[in-house]
Amino acid sequence: MNTPNYPKAAWLALALALTFVVGWEFYWRHENYDLSYNDDESLWASKRKLIYQSSPARPVLIGSSRIKFDLDLDTWKRITGEKPIQLSIVGTSPRPILTDLGNDPNFKGMLLVDVTEGLFFTPTGSFPEKEAVKRVKAYPNWSLSQQISFQLNRVLESNLLFLDDQRLALNPLLTKLPIPSRPGAWGGPKFPDAFSVNEFDRQTKMTDAFVADTSLQNKVKGVWQDIGAHSPKKAVSGPMLVDILNATKQAVDQIRARGGEVIFIRTPSDGPMYEIEKQAFPRALYWDRLLAHTQTPGIYFSDYPALTRFTCPEWSHLTPKDAIRFTQDLIPVVEQKMGRSLQKRTSATASKTNSSPL
């Protein structure tokens, strides 16, 4: 029997672990990956904490991926002087967050609700709400310990590329194994790694590689088709739709009763995706009805020539460059809906010169 030499084993393990970390980091840098922050519960909670600072110039954004890609937070800040608070969650219905904000007696700010019909008009408790419900429930229990860990993690994530749980953690790496799919079982959408990155303010952006590569864009188009094939074939209607509209109205009314403001927004989609969306969720039956039922202003991109001039390379989201222009053009529309200017006085003129006429 050996005499265990634990200290020696510990030192060797430490040296090997450090060597691995350094090598792993260099490998992914060499592969030209872009740094991306984990868009996890803690990052979301850190933004949720800011909602009480919301103002017309600093709206809270809730929705799905489109507003995360399409509304450029830095551009909004450049024009209005304030950065919006991004609470949208990719692939998720914003309704649980809307309900949460409605129930929060201290939220009296400005709310922009991004409506992607296929996600917004889903029954309460259905799959597209799952992640939003999870985060809303987790937020009140976001402990001091988690907040400290979040700050430490921020420092590490800002410097280490491999700390990317969407693309480079064990599970996403395992999904790259050549294991055939099981007939009838769907493992969820598989986006190419180069599709997008997430910034610390929760802005999502397409990577340069993605914008430049049509084959990658086609892959994402394929993912949308895949998702479509696994989505309910019939949109909600009847009493279920009425329930959704009533729940939305209740939350909107709660916010407005406290002096807050709400605007719905339909961001651009393109090509076959837009056609299918129009067919599945006819505007008169869903969008128009939502605005009428809740008595809330809305911005539908196709109503404004300035917001219609963009192309979504993968049918659903804008490129970073277009997101800047879209945001510049969106702000005057929001101002018009609200009946007041959002632009900071000092740079108002400069920003106006960059935006295109409505």
Partner 1 sequence: MVFNSYTFIIFLAVILVLHNLPFSWTAKKVNLLLASYLFYALWNPPFILLLWLSTVVDFYMARLISIEQRPTRRKLLLTVSLVLNLGMLSYFKYGGFLLENFTALLSAVGIVFQAAKPDIILPVGISFYTFVTLSYTLDVYRRKCAPEPSFLNFALFVTYFPHLVAGPIVRPEDLIPQFKTPRRATVEQLSWGLFLLSLGLFMKVTIADGLLAETADLIFGLPFPVQTLDAWTGVLAFSGQIFCDFAGYSTCAIGVSLCLGFVLPDNFRYPYAAIGFSDFWRRWHITLSTWLRDYLYIPLGGNQHGSVRTYVNLMITMLLGGLWHGASWTFVVWGALHGLFLCVERFWRDWSARRRAKTAELVVNEPLIAQASIIRPLTFSNSFTKFGLALLTLFLVNVTWVFFRAPTFNGAMLLLLSMFGVIPNGAPMLTNLAILTVGIITVLLIACHWLMRDSSLVALSKRLPWWVLSIAWVSMLILVILTQKSSGSFIYFQF
Binding site for partner 1 (CB under 8 A): 1-10, 12-13, 16-17, 20-21, 38, 42, 143-146, 148-149, 152-153, 156, 163, 165, 169-171, 173-175, 177, 179-187
Calculate the CA dihedral of residues 92, 93, 94, 95 and round it to 10 degrees. Answer: -150
Cβ nearer to partner 1, comparing 6 with 215: 6
What is the smallest separation between the CB atom of 201 and partner 1, expressed in angstroms?
Answer: 21
Least distance to partner 1, CB of residue 30, Å: 18
Do 81 and 74 contact (CB within 8 A), yes or no? Answer: no
| Distance in angstroms (rounded) separating the CA atoms of residues 276 and 266 | 15
Phi and psi at 80, nearest 5°, equal -100, -15
Of 166 and 294, CB closest to partner 1: 166
Shortest gap between Cβ of 244 and partner 1 (angstroms)? 19
d(CA 292, CA 295): 5
- DSSP strand E in 275-345: where? 298-300
The C-alpha R_g of the chain, in whole angstroms, comes to 22
Residue 125: what are its φ and ψ, rounded to 5°? 90, 0
Task: Say which DSSP state 283 is in.
Answer: T
3-class DSSP assignment, residue 299: strand
As measured in angstroms, the least distance from the Cβ of 105 to partner 1 is 15
Closer to partner 1 by CB, 173 or 212: give it: 173
Closest approach, Cβ 174 to partner 1, in A, equals 6
**Nearest CA-CA partner of 110 in 170, 52, 29:** 52
Closest separation in Å from C-beta 324 to partner 1: 32
* Closer Cβ to partner 1, 223 or 273, answer by number: 223
Both tokens of residue 164?
A: 């990317």
Nearer of residues 39 and 72 to partner 1, judged by Cβ: 39
